[in-house]
């Protein structure tokens, strides 16, 4: 059997090829000559076809073997018809085609494009240096002495060989910015993570312990120091410290976000209602405000959206805090060009409140003889006049309005104090973020907020105002006397606690000549101070 | 329907003004008790 000169059959080649190999069974009847399709070369794209493809007179005429079309659609007939109508040969092929030829041509064209893309990609892959980890002899490994780093930490904070640690609890929190209980909790949770476990390198040496990585990461979070700074103390490389910091932040968010960044429960709302009544603002469940966090490595393409009105680029952080500095709501990541109103419009807090999902309407409070169910936040004057936001009087003229504004401003400072304490404790939130993505910024601030709430939980009684602290603990069971609080504050006993942040506010509330004030002036700083000493009852 | 009710109720400027007025009156009427610990 004489096979046709396949390579020179141009027209029938395209007619015979439209079948993709995987679907050959559907078109098996179209190929009476077995093996024809295997020997047909891959069709070139239409734009790259040789010039003889457009030749109206092919070298080999169609035969009965290769022509699979009906006489009505015979290419010669089509070409004649096209010549009469003035169409080109390629256009005539497309005109007489039922879609299969175009499909094959497009497929071939795309294959060629992919092939052209694959070549430089493969060349780049060949040029890329393969990552091989630590290999003996590749580069002299630094003899960091991981055991010495671990010994330093144990000697300073935990004690070695029955010798007490160098630093006590106060120094502990100053140096690592978290109490001992919080560090212990983080360490126990993270030490079994695969990226924190002690490993054996390719050279057969034991690597760093989880405690070293946790301490190094906390130093970066607490002091925002460069990753290589911890090398001198914990004996870890820059890459290890940077990776441990990132992984620890992600772990904290993944593990404790639902615990420490949540809405208050029903019982907590009840306690907040009691506190708000004591502060003469019934129904208040916190103070709402925004702050900016500068973004050091903001890409130039995003500068327009993330540049604030003051110049630096950054993101906006919206938070709700109470007087214990607990963060009840956090919304990070809004572009720095937005003001507080726009951030509130995007905030999940507003969406939940306006949709009626939160806060629950079962909690009621009474103001001026009217019982209400809509709880509210204290905010500054820029916020819109919503029913769940209480802002100060814009133009106070009466004593009542001025008094209310003073109280509102003083209580609203809780959230400002919250931002200050958070930044002071975790310097990574104070300095500009050194990340390339907004996602990493969000993760970092969330993790810092979670750590802050964990610290507040462990030391909540210290954050209490002395007015309530003198009455009792945060739980309201009255277990703490004045002398105990004074002793905890290293103040002389026998005094009556007055003059906290709230107390300072209360004195400022008094209109001139209305009531007699305490003898001492308000403290310059909103700290816990004994203003008056008198014998106990 | 509850969503629409909450939408209208929480965004009401009238309710905002009313709540602030009531809080102002509440504070002014209770200022003596509030300031008593700080008065000699």
Nearest residue on chain A to B37, alpha-carbon basis: A498
Is A410 part of any domain? yes
Say whether B26 and A280 touch across the interface (CB within 8 A). yes
Tell me what pLDDT residue A58 has.
42
Q: Which of residues 451-480 of A touch B (CB under 8 A)?
A: 467
Strand locations in A108-248, DSSP E? none
**Over the stretch A159-209, which tens digit does the pLDDT of each residue have?**
898 899 999 888 888 888 899 899 999 999 999 999 999 999 877 888 999
The rounded distance, in Å, linking the Cα atoms of A203 and A93 is: 66
The residue range of the domain holding A48 is: 6-126
The rounded distance, in Å, linking the Cα atoms of A472 and A475 is: 8
User: Which of A404, A467, A469 to probe the B interface (max B CBs under 10 A)?
Assistant: A404
Say whether B6 and A281 touch across the interface (CB within 8 A). no
Query: Is a pLDDT exceeding 60 seen at residue A534?
Result: no
Is A134 part of any domain? no
Say whether B38 and A403 touch across the interface (CB within 8 A). no
Say whether B37 and A407 touch across the interface (CB within 8 A). no
Tell me what pLDDT residue A187 has.
95
Tell me what pLDDT residue A513 has.
37
Is A67 part of any domain? yes
Q: How many CB pairs under 8 A join A and B?
A: 111
Tell me what pLDDT residue A321 has.
94
Q: Between the CA of residue A50 and those of A46, A87, A285, B30, what are the distances in Å?
A: 9, 19, 78, 96
Looking at chain B, the whole-number percentage of residues with pLDDT higher than 70 is 85
- H helix intervals, A394-523: 399-425, 438-458, 460-463, 466-471, 482-488, 501-509
Residues A277 and A249 in one domain: no
H or E segment at A288? Answer: strand A284-294
Q: Which residue has the higher pLDDT, A17 or A486?
A: A486
Q: What is the mean pLDDT of residues A284-310?
A: 93
Nearest residue on chain A to B7, alpha-carbon basis: A354
Residues A455 and A474 in one domain: no
Nearest residue on chain A to B4, alpha-carbon basis: A355
Q: Which residue has the higher pLDDT, A144 or A286?
A: A286
Residues A424 and A295 in one domain: yes
**Looking at CA atoms only, how far is residue B36 from chain A in angstroms?**
9
**Looking at CA atoms only, how far is residue A280 from chain B in angstroms?**
6
Is A181 part of any domain? yes
Q: How many domains does chain A have?
A: 4
The strand order across the sheet containing A284-294 reads A327-335, A314-321, A284-294, A376-378, A389-390
> Which residue, of A409, A425, A459, is where some domain finishes?
A459
> Which residue, of A208, A229, A259, is where some domain finishes?
A259
Coarse DSSP helix, strand, coil percentages of chain A, rounded to the nearest 5 percent: 50, 10, 40
> Which residue, of A240, A259, A278, is where some domain finishes?
A259
Is A534 part of any domain? yes
Task: Please give the structure tokens belonging to residue A376.
Answer: 């509210």
Nearest residue on chain A to B35, alpha-carbon basis: A506
Confidence band, pLDDT 50/70/90 cuts, at residue A32: very low
Mean pLDDT of chain A: 76
Say whether A368 and B38 touch across the interface (CB within 8 A). no
Is A491 part of any domain? yes
Tell me what pLDDT residue A228 has.
87
**Over the stretch A328-352, which tens digit does the pLDDT of each residue have?**
999 999 999 999 999 999 999 999 9
User: Which of A357, A367, A369, A522 to probe the B interface (max B CBs under 10 A)?
Assistant: A367
**Over the stretch A65-86, which tens digit does the pLDDT of each residue have?**
333 444 444 555 545 555 555 5
The rounded distance, in Å, linking the Cα atoms of A2 and A521 is: 115
Residues A226 and A292 in one domain: no
Residues A62 and A166 in one domain: no
Say whether A387 and B23 touch across the interface (CB within 8 A). no
Is A404 part of any domain? yes
Q: Does residue A214 sit at the B interface (CB-CB below 8 Å)?
A: no
Query: Is a pLDDT exceeding 50 seen at residue B35?
Result: yes
Nearest residue on chain A to B22, alpha-carbon basis: A368
Residues of B with CB under 8 A from a CB of A: 2-3, 5-7, 9-13, 15-17, 19-20, 22-32, 34-35, 37-40
Q: Does residue A280 sit at the B interface (CB-CB below 8 Å)?
A: yes
ipTM score assigned to the predicted complex = 0.93
Residues A366 and A249 in one domain: no
Residues A217 and A285 in one domain: no
Q: Which residue has the higher pLDDT, A340 or A323?
A: A340
Residues A247 and A322 in one domain: no
Residues A275 and A219 in one domain: no
Query: What is the model's pTM?
Result: 0.67
Q: Of A282, A355, A386, which is closest to B16 when you measure between CB atoms?
A: A386
Residues A23 and A98 in one domain: yes
Q: Of A387, A507, A518, which is closest to B15 when you measure between CB atoms?
A: A387
Residues A325 and A199 in one domain: no
Strand A284-294 versus strand A314-321 pairing type: antiparallel
What 3-state DSSP class applies to A295?
Answer: strand
Looking at chain A, the whole-number percentage of residues with pLDDT higher than 70 is 66
């Amino acid at each position: 059997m004489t096979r046709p000169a396949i390579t020179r059959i141009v027209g029938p080649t395209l007619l015979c090829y439209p079948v993709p190999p995987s679907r050959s069974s559907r078109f098996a009847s179209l190929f009476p000559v077995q093996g024809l399709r295997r020997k047909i070369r891959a069709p070139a794209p239409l734009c790259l076809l040789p010039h003889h493809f457009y030749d109206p007179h092919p070298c080999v005429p169609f035969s009965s073997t290769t022509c699979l079309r009906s006489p009505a659609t015979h290419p010669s007939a089509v070409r004649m018809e096209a010549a009469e109508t003035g169409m080109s040969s390629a256009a005539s092929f497309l005109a007489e085609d039922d879609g299969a030829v175009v499909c094959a041509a497009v497929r071939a064209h795309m294959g060629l494009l992919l092939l052209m893309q694959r070549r430089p990609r493969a060349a780049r892959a060949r040029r890329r240096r393969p990552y091989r980890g630590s290999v003996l002899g590749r580069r002299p490994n630094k003899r960091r002495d991981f055991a010495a780093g671990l010994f330093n930490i144990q000697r300073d904070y935990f004690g070695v060989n029955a010798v007490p640690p160098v630093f006590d609890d106060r120094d502990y929190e100053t140096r690592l910015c978290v109490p001992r209980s919080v560090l212990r909790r983080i360490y126990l949770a993270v030490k079994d993570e695969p990226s924190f476990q002690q490993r054996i390198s390719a050279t057969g040496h034991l690597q760093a312990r989880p405690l070293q990585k946790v301490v190094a990461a906390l130093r970066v979070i607490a002091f925002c120091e460069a990753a290589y700074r911890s090398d001198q103390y914990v004996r870890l490389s820059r890459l290890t410290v940077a990776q441990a910091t990132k992984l620890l932040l992600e772990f904290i968010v993944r593990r404790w976000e639902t615990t420490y960044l949540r809405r208050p429960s029903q019982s907590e709302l009840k306690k907040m209602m009691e506190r708000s009544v004591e502060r003469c603002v019934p129904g208040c469940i916190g103070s709402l405000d925004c702050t900016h966090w500068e973004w050091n490595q903001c890409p130039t393409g995003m500068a327009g959206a993330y540049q604030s009105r003051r110049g630096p680029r950054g993101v906006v952080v919206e938070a709700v805090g109470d007087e214990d500095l607990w963060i009840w709501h956090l919304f990070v990541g809004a572009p720095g060009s937005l003001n507080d109103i726009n951030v509130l419009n995007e905030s999940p807090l507003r969406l939940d409140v306006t949709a009626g999902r939160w806060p629950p309407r079962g909690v009621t409070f009474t103001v001026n003889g009217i019982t209400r169910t809509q709880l509210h936040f204290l905010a500054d004057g820029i916020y819109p006049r919503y029913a769940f936001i209480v802002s100060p009087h814009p133009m106070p003229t009466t004593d009542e309005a001025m008094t209310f504004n003073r109280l509102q401003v003083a209580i609203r400072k809780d959230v400002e104090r919250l931002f200050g304490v958070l930044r002071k404790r975790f310097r990574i939130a104070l300095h500009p973020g050194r990340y390339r993505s907004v996602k990493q910024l969000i993760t970092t601030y969330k993790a810092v907020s979670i750590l802050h709430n964990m610290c507040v939980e462990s030391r909540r009684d210290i954050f209490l105002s002395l007015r309530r602290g003198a009455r009792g603990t945060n739980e309201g069971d009255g277990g703490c006397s004045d002398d105990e609080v004074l002793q905890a504050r290293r103040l002389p006993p026998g005094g009556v606690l007055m003059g906290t942040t709230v107390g300072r506010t209360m004195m400022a509330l008094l209109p001139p000549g209305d009531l007699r004030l305490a003898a001492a002036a308000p403290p310059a700083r909103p700290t816990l101070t004994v203003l008056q000493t008198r014998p106990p009852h | 329907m509850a969503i629409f009710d909450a939408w209208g109720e929480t965004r009401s400027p009238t309710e905002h003004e009313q709540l602030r007025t009531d809080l102002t009156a509440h504070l002014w009427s209770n200022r003596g008790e509030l300031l008593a610990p700080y008065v000699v």
